[in-house]
């Protein structure tokens, strides 16, 4: 299916690693002119080099207003903004002080607010644009640990609906994508180490079976790949999804087994 993304400029925040790099790869494969992002100069260059032109790298600390403005100035006009960056910071209710909660909100919500506020006006002028907010299954089913992170990620679906109403009739759509467990290199390495310490098999099929039954249960018995997430994001960014606006789309293997 041709998603019609050829020539569209797409910025993926935090795409120097993990899920963001997978989203960037899929968008590039669909013909988008992808801008990959790192927090430090050169941090995302490896991915731009791997994917080749027209993919290019920018950098800036989007946890600050100045850093976000620096990223926008490097990008030029952007048609698609994927607010992928986020960090699962924190510990427990008893351990985390107010500063941890504020940091979680800044990293997981305000980074997206900054980039969206800076880039939406130009999209509205052109009459076309796509905003994607990347949340988590924990926005619907939060755990008892890292409460500040789940509270912050839980704000993104609400923010999506509010922004969708603001953008009504402009040609710019906004949606929220919430993955469950994702087989990023970092998590695969962590689960493999855990299996080794426990004396379990380190074959991926066995690790996946253990994770999806004992750690993060899913109805599919599978863990999403970064490409799985990237393909959903790419579809949401296409004209094929022009009637999807203000939606909260879970890609969690049925982990959030709820009606809404």
* Tally of structural domains, the chain: 2
Pairwise CA distance, residues 7 & 35, whole Å: 12
My answer on whether 34 and 141 are in the same domain is yes
Which of 16, 105, 149, 150 is catalytic? The answer is 149
In a domain, 259, yes or no: no
Residue 211 within any structural domain of the chain: yes
Shared domain check, 99 and 48: yes
pTM across the whole model:
0.95
For residue 166, tell me if it sits in a domain.
yes
Whether residue 207 sits in one domain with residue 217: yes
To 5 degrees, how large is the angle CA 180–CA 18–CA 146? 50
Cα(62)–Cα(114) distance, rounded to whole angstroms?
7
Q: Are residues 36 and 159 in the same domain?
A: yes
Cα distance between residue 12 and residue 78, in whole Å: 10
Q: Are residues 101 and 127 in the same domain?
A: yes
Q: Identify which of 51, 48, 58, 78 has the alpha carbon closest to the alpha carbon of residue 237.
A: 78
pLDDT by 10s per residue, the chain, length 260: 789 999 999 999 999 999 999 999 999 999 999 999 999 999 999 999 999 999 999 999 999 999 999 999 999 999 999 999 999 999 999 999 999 999 999 999 999 999 999 999 999 999 999 999 999 999 998 988 999 999 999 999 999 999 999 999 999 999 999 999 999 999 999 999 999 999 999 999 999 999 999 999 999 999 999 999 999 999 999 999 999 999 999 999 998 877 76
Listed as own residue / partner, the contacts of 68-74 with beta carbons closer than 8 Å and 24 or more positions apart are 68/111, 68/114, 68/115, 68/118, 69/118, 71/11, 71/13, 71/37, 71/115, 72/115, 72/118, 72/119
Q: Between β-strands 9-12 and 80-83, what pairing exists: parallel, antiparallel or unpaired?
A: parallel
Domain that holds residue 212: 183-223
Q: Report the run of H or E that residue 123 belongs to, with start and end.
A: helix 111-126
Residue with tokens 């299954």: 137
Query: Does the active-site annotation cover 150?
Result: no
């Amino acid at each position: 299916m041709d998603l019609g993304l050829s020539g569209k400029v797409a910025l993926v925040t935090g795409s120097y690693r993990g899920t963001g790099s997978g989203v960037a790869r899929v968008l590039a494969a669909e013909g988008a002119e992808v801008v990959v992002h790192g927090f430090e100069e050169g941090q995302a260059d490896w991915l731009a080099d791997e994917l080749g032109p027209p993919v290019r790298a920018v950098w800036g600390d989007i946890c600050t207003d100045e850093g976000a403005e620096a990223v926008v100035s490097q990008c030029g006009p952007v048609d698609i903004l994927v607010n992928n960056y986020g960090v699962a910071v924190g510990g427990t209710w008893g351990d985390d002080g107010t500063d941890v909660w504020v940091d979680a909100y800044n990293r997981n919500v305000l980074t997206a607010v900054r980039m969206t506020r800076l880039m939406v006006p130009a999209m509205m002028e052109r009459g076309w644009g796509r905003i994607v907010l990347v949340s988590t299954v924990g926005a619907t089913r939060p755990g008892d640990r890292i409460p500040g992170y789940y509270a912050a990620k839980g704000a993104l679906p609400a923010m999506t609906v509010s922004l969708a109403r603001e953008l009504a009739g402009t040609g710019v759509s906004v949606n929220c994508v919430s993955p469950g467990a994702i087989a990023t290199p970092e998590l695969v390495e962590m689960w493999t180490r855990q299996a080794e310490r426990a004396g379990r098999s380190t074959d991926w099929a066995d690790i996946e079976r253990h994770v999806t039954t004992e750690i993060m249960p899913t109805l599919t018995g599978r863990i999403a790949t970064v490409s799985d997430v990237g393909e959903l994001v790419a579809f949401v960014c296409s004209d094929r999804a022009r009637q999807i606006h203000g939606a909260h789309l879970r890609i969690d293997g049925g982990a959030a087994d709820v009606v809404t």
